[in-house]
Structure 1
Amino acid sequence: MSYPHQPYQPQPPKPSNTLSVVGIVLGCIAFLFCPPLFGIAGIICGVVANSKGERLGGTAIGVSVAGLIGGMLLGFVLFQGMYDI
């Protein structure tokens, strides 16, 4: 029994979530260490990932914004307590 010859049809590559995961990790790091640097970098990674159609791009943007704002608020509260401002 033979199968009819079918032409090769390449499958489109599945979009990776690499930039999205990097953006999420940077957003989490921004909560504790240097929020402006890591938060903005995470937002940029999330926006680029979202424009490429990655599934987690929007999540990366949200986590990075939350890490940026939360880290800045945490830093403000800690320094206010340290220096009694």
Structure 2
Amino acid sequence: MSQTAPHSTSSAARTMSIIGIVLGVLAVFVLPIILGPIGAVLGFVANSKGDRPLGMYVGIGCIVATVLGMVLGAVVYSSMN
């Protein structure tokens, strides 16, 4: 029987966090309504799989990136009209 440390992070959870970060950054500039929530879900799932506290920060950051991307898109759209 192998024992793991109480705060060990699986590579799958860390991978989900990294992908969530990438999607969050992309959500600011491209398709925030799609990429942001996907990144947030990946962050929160990574948090539940053991990537604490990074997963939680990624989830919250992706929500912020979604809102920021939508506001930025609205500003760009209104300035074009």
**Range into which the TM-score falls when normalised by the shorter chain:** 0.7 to 0.9
Choose from 4, 29, 32 the match for 1:12.
Answer: 4
1:6 aligned residue? none
Moved more, 46-55 or 32-41: 46-55
2:66 aligned residue? 68
Q: TM-score if structure 1 supplies the norm length?
A: 0.78
Q: TM-score if structure 2 supplies the norm length?
A: 0.82
Task: Tell me, in whole angstroms, the C-alpha distance in 2 between the residues paired with 1:26 and 1:43.
Answer: 9
Write 1 or 2 for the structure with the bigger share of helix: 2
Q: For structure 2, which runs of at least 5 residues remain unmatched after alignment? A: none
Kept in 2, the 8 Å contact 1:24–1:59? The answer is: no
Q: CA RMSD in A?
A: 1.6
Q: How many residues align?
A: 75
Please identify the structure whose Cα radius of gyration is greater: 1
Task: Tell me, in whole angstroms, the C-alpha distance in 2 between the residues paired with 1:29 and 1:76.
Answer: 16
